[in-house]
Amino acid sequence: MPGAVRRGLGVWLALGAVGASLWGLPASGGAQAFTGAERAVLESGEPVRHPRTQQRDGRSYIGGTSWRVIPRPLAEVWRGVNDASSLCRMLPQCVQQRVVQRLEDGTVMRFTHTYGPVRASYHLRVTFDQPAHDLSFRLDPSRPSDVRAVWGFLELRRYRGSEGRTLVSWGVMADPGSRIMTSLLGSSLQASLLRVPDEMYDYLLGPARDRYR
């Protein structure tokens, strides 16, 4: 388990010029190893979440990391992640998605979310590491977006060596860039950012139960 978390943090470190330590994040997998209580939560099928907030360079970031075990094989979960037509169904409050450009190692995608009366769209550069079953993403600054900054990672690993269970590791930090959005939604926006493993769980065990086999 610590090895899986360590690789996930490695992806995080590669996402930007600022090292994880400057964001108050642990720099090694050992420092982020699950506690006994957290491991019991994962074994029960429930999520583990570590929310974070950060003030940096005049920006207010919210997000953190979250994990959940999905009782489906790694290859099947990864096929779901690679299905660009269904990504929106694994993102909280996502109502629309569109592939804008296909790149050699990934894609540029436009997503739209609704949060009550608030509607926000943004463009992400999503980079896939197929052999490692990882992806990283960051806001595409060359295209219009309704948020100031977003970056993060998604990592899949076999859970404790099991062929039939996959550990989803998700990390995200975002500056919504809108005081209206932040004041209206408060902590619910941060909670939504950390729900991606839960949305994946619900989709892959519900509507997509027979897909990606």
Q: What is the pLDDT of residues 64-79, one digit of tens each?
A: 999 999 999 999 999 9
Q: Residue 142 domain-assigned?
A: yes
Predicted confidence (pLDDT) at residue 45 exceeds the cutoff of 90:
yes
Q: Quick check: is 90 in a domain? A: yes
This prediction has a pTM of: 0.84
Q: By C-alpha distance, which of 116, 41, 124, 113 is closest to 84?
A: 124
Residue 10 covered by a domain? no
Q: Is 108 part of a structural domain of the chain?
A: yes
Residue with tokens 């079953």: 133
Q: Is residue 42 a part of any domain in this protein? A: no
Q: How far is 95 from 143, CA to CA, in rounded Å?
A: 19
Q: How many CB atoms lie within 10 A of CB 134?
A: 22
| Residue ranges making up the domain that contains 144 | 49-205
CA distances from 83 to 76, 79, 80, 104 (A): 11, 6, 5, 16
**Contact assessment for residue 100 and residue 90, using Cβ atoms and an 8 Å cutoff:** no
CATH of the domain at 87: 3.30.530.20
Domain membership of residue 144 (yes or no) is: yes
Q: What is the pLDDT of residues 119-175, one digit of tens each?
A: 889 999 999 999 999 999 999 999 999 999 999 999 999 999 999 999 999 999 999
Phi/psi zone of residue 64: left (φ > 0), alpha (ψ -120 to 50 degrees), beta?
A: left
On whether residue 36 sits in a domain, the answer given is no
**Count of domains forming the chain:** 1
Give a yes or no: residue 82 inside a domain.
Answer: yes
Q: Which two tokens stand for residue 102?
A: 């296909």
15 pLDDT tier (thresholds 50, 70, 90): very low
Whether 158 contacts 165, CB under 8 Å: yes
pLDDT at 105: 77
b/e string for 10-21 if b means 16 or more Cβ within 10 A? Answer: bbbbebeeeebe
